[in-house]
Structure formats: C-alpha cells, structure tokens
Amino acid sequence: MPYEYRDSRKVKVACVQMTCTDEREPNVEKALARIADAAAAGANIVCLQELFTGPYFCQSEDHRQFDRAEPIPGPSSEALAAAAKKHGVVIIGSLFERRAHGLYHNTAVILDADGTQLGIYRKMHIPDDPLYYEKFYFTPGDLGFRSFATKFGRIGVCVCWDQWYPEAARLTALTGAEIIFYPTAIGWLPEEKAEFGESQHRAWETMMRSHSIANGVFVAAPNRVGREGALEFWGGSFISDPNGNLIAKASHDREEILISECDLGLVNVVRTHWPFLRDRRIDAYGDITRRYIDDLR
C-alpha cells in the first residue's frame, strides 16, 4: 500500500509483563518500578497485566480471596495516579474492584498523564473454566464498551476473556479507540501444554491481531508470566499495528517491559485503504443480539 502520512502522531506504548507474589505491596511496588523504567525509556502509555496486585486467585473458589478486593479510587489506583503524574504517562491498571458488599468486578482504571482518573472499564465477559473460576468472583461489567481521550491518543480497554469476542473489539473501536489494550492473565494447564500449548497461544495471538485488522487499530496485550499454582502463564505480550503486523513481542518465560512506537496516523491511512467500517451493513446486523439463530427462515 502506498501509505502517505498526513497526520503522523507517534506515541510509545509499553506493556509490563511480570511475575506476581501473594502479597499486594511487593507487586504494586514492582509495577511502580516498571512504570518508572518504561517512562525513562520514553513510553507515553503504560499498561499493566490483569489483576497485577496479586496472584491469579481465580484458580479456586475461595471466599477468603474477596479480601483482596479494594475500592476505586483506593490504595492501588491512587498509587498509580501518583505515578502517572510523576512520570507524565498514561497508565492502565487492572484491579479487583470492591464496588459494594457482595458486588465485585474485574476492573481496569485509566489514568491520564496528569494523574486524573479518566474512568474505568469493567470486564464484560466472565469465564468459568478449570482454574479460571471467575464467575465466582466477578459480576459482569455494566458500563459497556468505551474509550478514553488521553493526552497521547484515544484508547480503549478490554480485559482478558473479552479478547476472544469480535463484538467487544468492534464496539470499542466504534467509540473512537485508536489503540485497544487487553490486560491479560492466561496460561497453560500443565497436562495440556505439550499437546495443545502451541495451538492455544497461536489462537490467542491471532484473535487479537484480527481485531487490529478488522477495526484498523493498534492492539496491545500485556500478559503475566511465571508459574502460579497449577498454571504456567505464557507471557508472550505483544503489540500489533492496524494491519495486524506484530511490531513487538515478549518472551514466554521472562519479565519484560515491551515498548514500541505506534504512529496513530496509520489508523486513518489503513482505514481508507481497507474501508471495513465504511462497508459495514449495519441495516442487516439486527440478529447479532440473538443468542443463536435456530430457524433458517
């Protein structure tokens, strides 16, 4: 494609891929240190992995784990806000939100470069699989799919299981997002890794890269890494451009800060060459709100 950039807007995006321990404070301190490192390397937007303040506790159904939740604003979001202001970076932090007695969410907080809380996104799709018993803990989100105008561009945020749903990416893109972030906690079950591990990881990456293509947006997915309980988190954090090309990718077994320059001017260029949004048949999509189309009519 003979791309011509009339609106070049370059931002540096960072994904923090790290291990987590049981106690909140060391994880928050590590995340703050990684944010400082990313900012020193020139990052403008820093996204942390899903539920970064502790271990991935959803491997079992245990009422004691609700003690890990906190309000927003609360200690972790306020620490992130202070870091955003100190370093002049936009921060996305994924937290276990205590909204009210008996009402908890898997929530991402979005903080602008001056520390202002721009809003939150509550995870919409909640899984219930072996070692991923999230329905026990999290109420599905009720804020819909949204994006946020930050100092460095308009960003959308979804969380982990949301990444498998093209509807979520599409609706987020339709709110104006130029980059969609997916804080993630996904790993291999030991008994499945040898046979299915490569295929599972490839499907995960391919799915999100397809969101880049279908919507003409950058996608950034920070995943956790390391062994926690019965799960081996596969890392592999990545950033893809609006053509679905991988422009940065992390390892499967190390903590890393993945940083890549994203020219947001490419969004318009790609969308005018591949006009998928123009050619959508919105008059014909009414059945998308049905669970399943049983009759052939």
Q: Where are the domains of the chain?
A: 10-289
Q: Which one is catalytic: 12, 47, 50, 158?
A: 50
CA–CA distance, 221 with 185 (Å, rounded to integer): 10
**Which residue among 15, 20, 58, 123 is the active-site one?**
123
Are 24 and 54 in contact, with CB atoms under 8 Å apart? yes
DSSP 92-157: EEEEEEEEETTEEEEEEEEE-TTS-EEEEEE------BTTB-GGGT-PPPSS-S-EEEETTEEEEE
Known active-site residue 23: no
* Residue 160 designated active-site: yes
CA distance 52 to 55: 7
Q: Which two tokens stand for residue 234?
A: 């596969």
Q: How many CA atoms lie within 13 A of 206 on its CB side?
A: 6
CATH of domain 10-289: 3.60.110.10
* 50 labelled catalytic: yes
**What is the rounded distance in angstroms from the CA atom of residue 258 to the CA atom of residue 152?**
18
Catalytic position from the list 97, 160, 178, 256: 160
* pLDDT in single tens digits along all 297 residues of the chain: 455 666 899 999 999 999 999 999 999 999 999 999 999 999 999 999 999 999 999 999 999 999 999 999 999 999 999 999 999 999 999 999 999 999 999 999 999 999 999 999 999 999 999 999 999 999 999 999 999 999 999 999 999 999 999 999 999 999 999 999 999 999 999 899 999 999 999 999 999 999 999 999 999 999 999 999 999 999 999 999 999 999 999 999 999 999 999 999 999 999 999 999 999 999 999 999 999 998 765
